[in-house]
Amino acid sequence: MRTLQTTPEGFALTLDQTFLPFERVELKLAQLEDCVVAIQTMQVRGAPLIGATAALGLAFALREQATDAALTAAWERLAQTRPTAVNLQWALARVGAAVTPLAPAQRAARAWTEACAILDEDVAANAAIGAHGAALARALVPRSGAPLQWLTHCNAGRLATVAHGTALAPIYALHAAGIAQHVWVDETRPRNQGASLTAWELSAAGIAHTVIADNAGGQLMREGRVDAVIVGCDRVARNGDVANKVGTYLKALAALDCAVPFWVACPSATLDPALMQGGDIPIEARSPRELSHIWGRTAQGQRVEVQLFPDTSAAFNPAFDVTPARLVTALITERGVCAAHQEALAALFPERFA
């Protein structure tokens, strides 16, 4: 089932992820501002889903007004919502390139067609990542019949994409093949996408998993209880450096020290050959309130927000970090598995690295 679905009436439906895992609330996207708010407030999140939502937002805007000035204004409005995930810029550029040569009267229909194509291609790319990642992981499946042990960080499942997911796609593929697995799920503070979203997804799929504190992963690797770490990504620089949810870098360091493979599920839409290295990737700093407050459910079933530390304490909340290419064992793309460096990426995606 798709996370983001278009309707015959010309709008889109998705889940409001800010209510998960305790409430399932459907979110309707029908105009530019719906998409802007959804991206900014993380009602939708995950690089592929952000890109798809932005593409739809541009299409919605052009239904209202399709002049050059209106196109530029809508583009800029969407581009400012989240700075790190390159899928956002990629999707806007793709839709913009498709409609700019056209007369204003033709633009809305063409933008909708292009946005729907982006959604369909995301589904296919993630299914391919699942197949390639599953083939890679089969070499690690214990011959004893014991479960293959994964460690994940943040949520890179179907909720972060149009369907299938990126980092969770190989896990889903192996599950469909009957391979026993267990997933250690990082809680992923401060927004708890692992505890709230990945755990919710794995529960729904019937895949064994255990939620852990973010700082527990290194010890599990040291004890030999992790066969592979797999994460998604929000942007990959030309040299193979990877931006992902903050805390990813620490997992990669621990994996290297413990000789555990560290794999990054990398759809081509997250590649940014224009940036030479990870240090050039803009890192989003989000509200300190995401650190100082947390949502949860009371014993009575009420959804409430509570404060974690004093008002007098400052907080800094970078949403992403950069993992150097040298720490990445492999990138899993829709065209296959490759090393995290420019030459390997260019061999798979020559049109992007020309």
**The tokens 């633009």 sit on which residue?**
107
* Structural tokens at position 39: 């991206």
CA 248 – CA 216 distance, rounded (Å) = 13
- Beta bridge mates, 12: 6, 29
Cα maximum dimension of the chain: 64
Query: Within a 10 A sphere around the Cβ of 204, how many other Cβ atoms?
Result: 11
> From the CA atom positions of the chain, what is the Rg in Å?
20
CA 112 – CA 5 distance, rounded (Å) = 13
CA 260 – CA 258 distance, rounded (Å) = 5
- Tell me if 88 sits within 8 A of 81, measured CB to CB: yes
* Structural tokens at position 75: 């583009």
What single DSSP character describes residue 240?
Answer: S
CA 153 – CA 197 distance, rounded (Å) = 11
234: annotated active-site residue: yes
Please name the amino acid found at residue 87: N
- Tell me if 175 sits within 8 A of 168, measured CB to CB: no
CA 128 – CA 267 distance, rounded (Å) = 9
* Structural tokens at position 300: 């009575």
Long-range contacts of 286-289 (CB under 8 A, 24+ apart): 286/317, 286/318, 286/319, 287/317, 288/314, 288/315, 288/316, 288/317
- Active-site residue among 122, 234, 241, 321? 234
CA 229 – CA 140 distance, rounded (Å) = 12
CA 54 – CA 87 distance, rounded (Å) = 9
Instruction: Please list the active-site residues.
Output: 234
